[in-house]
Amino acid sequence: MSRSAHPAGPRHADVLTEGHYAAPPADLNVLDEKVWARTVSRNDDGAVTVGGIEVTRLAEEFGTPAYFLDESDFRARCRAWADAFGPGADVFYAGKAFLSRAVVRWLKEEGLNLDVCSGGELTTALDAGMPAERIAFHGNNKTVAEIEWAVQVGVGRIVLDSFQEIVRVSHIAQRLGKRQRVQIRVTVGVEAHTHEFIATAHEDQKFGIALAGGQAAEAVRRALRLDGIELIGIHSHIGSQIFDMAGFEVSARRVVQLLAEVRDEHGVELPEIDLGGGLGIAYTSDDDPRDPHEIAKALGDIVTRECEAAGLATPRISVEPGRAIVGPTAFTLYEVGTIKHLEGLRTYVSVDGGMSDNIRTALYDAEYSVALVSRRSDAEPMLVRVVGKHCESGDIVVKDAFLPSDLAPGDLIAVPATGAYCRSMASNYNHALRPPVVAVRDGEARVIVRRETEEDLLRLDVG
């Protein structure tokens, strides 16, 4: 649709580019359920509610900026993944997306396992009572101390990421009188269609061991010879925010080929494969994420078919969704501060957070949407850039979006789909205080990660 078809359209048509920015939505008050947590809606007074509570009340009680996480949506998504994969497979939530003790308890209650990639994540998991055998430990450079601890507590698996680590983990386990279950992470050579920094299955990067050139087969050869480890399977994670199942299918096919080679060479059928995480979510109305059932069926079918063709028993499949579970369940609530109209250029709406609570726009050119949530407005749409309060012009929260042109300081706006990789990648840049995470459920809201305070900052600064 051409821009001129919108007489009530944006103020600064010259900065428009393409896609969903080219035209404002018909009604800015309507919340697209694709990008908002399930219990979010707008009530008759015009205010947005989550879990039955108005955001205006939440802002009064918890302040802004703050992340509000829809607990029932989180739990429902856990159940959907567990149901889709069924009892014959395992779902590991990727804790790097967002981890807290409450989250660990929800995962435990909903029957999910947990993927951790640092001693800090392992601490959180164990402290909140996740049984060690339901934990997978990842990372391309686990420290000796981390490995020792993971082995000692008996994590269900360590995912080995290099030739050196194969030997390192085996030695440590032997020293501790244990035999550690491990998988080997391979890079399958798939170019996932996503941002370069979050693609992980091409060969020129730091993760895993390449299938190409027989490297992964050599890794298996070495692992099978060592006494401190028990090789239970092969792992592949191709990247993040991926919508196209083709990359996963190629990955599954290549991993099964490796299982067949291992069987032929060693007479051993490895019982498990892990196909990683990386399933995309809707950040804007243009994104169309896959349903977990569709994903489970596609992966299950391809693995079964390839195994049948290779004469292998179908291995137990596991997956590691992080973003697809937590991403859509939260939004960030901000208060609007300064609004600057740069004539002929752009309108900047500044909020009380920014790149310290959401680095993804600056780092990956990520796209988000935004809505006025403290009231309804029927004013005409204006194209804006939502920016933070940090001393950097790259401090952008939402690059281009439409908000009502009567937007004013003190209004509350919210950015949906910030559950994954926002709080977990938050920083103290400019000594910003990292926002709280508030879980909302059935009319009740409770802080699960509290807001940082000036005392927290000063406590670490020992003078």
Residues known to be catalytic: 391
**Of 39, 64, 162, 240, which one interacts with ligand LLP (CB under 6 A)?**
240
> Token digits for 204?
């020129």
Q: Which stretch binds ligand LLP (CB under 6 A): 8-16, 76-84, 90-98, 150-158?
A: 90-98
In this structure, are residues 119 and 144 in contact, taking their beta carbons and an 8 Å threshold? no
Location of structure tokens 């790259």 = 394
**Of 75, 157, 323, 389, which one interacts with ligand LLP (CB under 6 A)?**
323
Shortest reach from residue 115's CB to ligand LLP, in Å: 6
217: exposed, middle or buried (Cβ count in 10 Å: 0-12, 13-18, 19+):
middle
Contact between 115 and ligand LLP (CB under 6 A)? yes
> Token digits for 100?
């807290």
Shortest reach from residue 347's CB to ligand LLP, in Å: 27
Shortest reach from residue 210's CB to ligand LLP, in Å: 16
Contact between 71 and ligand LLP (CB under 6 A)? no
At how many degrees (to 10) do helices 292-310 and 246-266 cross? 30
Separation between Cα atoms, residue 388 and residue 233, nearest integer Å: 45
Per-position DSSP letters for 17-75, written without gaps between them: -SGGGSS--S-TTPPPTTTS-TT-EE-TTS-EEETTEEHHHHHHHH-SSEEEEEHHHHH
* Residue with smaller CB distance to ligand LLP, 198 or 229: 198
Contact between 103 and ligand LLP (CB under 6 A)? no
Stretch 172-211 residues interacting with ligand LLP (CB under 6 A): 198
**Of 94, 229, 258, 382, which one interacts with ligand LLP (CB under 6 A)?**
94
Shortest reach from residue 362's CB to ligand LLP, in Å: 11
> Token digits for 181?
């279950």
* Residue with smaller CB distance to ligand LLP, 157 or 237: 237
* Residue with smaller CB distance to ligand LLP, 270 or 383: 270
Shortest reach from residue 23's CB to ligand LLP, in Å: 27
Beta strand spans in 188-261 (E): 209-210, 229-235
Contact between 91 and ligand LLP (CB under 6 A)? no
Contact between 320 and ligand LLP (CB under 6 A)? yes
Shortest reach from residue 197's CB to ligand LLP, in Å: 7
**Of 85, 149, 248, 421, which one interacts with ligand LLP (CB under 6 A)?**
421
Q: Which stretch binds ligand LLP (CB under 6 A): 257-265, 315-323, 372-380, 427-435?
A: 315-323
Instruction: Kindly state the DSSP code that residue 202 receives in the 8-state scheme.
Output: S
Amino acid identity of 249? E
Q: What angle do CA 119, 125, 130 make, to 5 degrees?
A: 140
Contact between 321 and ligand LLP (CB under 6 A)? yes
Sequence-separated (6 or more) residues with CB below 8 Å from residue 463 = none
In this structure, are residues 195 and 364 in contact, taking their beta carbons and an 8 Å threshold? yes
- 3-class SS shares of the chain: helix, strand, coil, % to 5: 35, 25, 40
Per-position DSSP letters for 177-190, written without gaps between them: T--EEEEEEEE---
Shortest reach from residue 456's CB to ligand LLP, in Å: 24
Contact between 277 and ligand LLP (CB under 6 A)? yes
Q: Which stretch binds ligand LLP (CB under 6 A): 101-109, 271-279, 400-408, 440-448?
A: 271-279
> Token digits for 124?
């959180």
Separation between Cα atoms, residue 38 and residue 324, nearest integer Å: 14
Residue ranges that bind ligand LLP, judged by CB under 6 A: 94, 96-97, 115, 138, 198, 237, 240-241, 276-279, 320-324, 360, 364, 420-421, 425
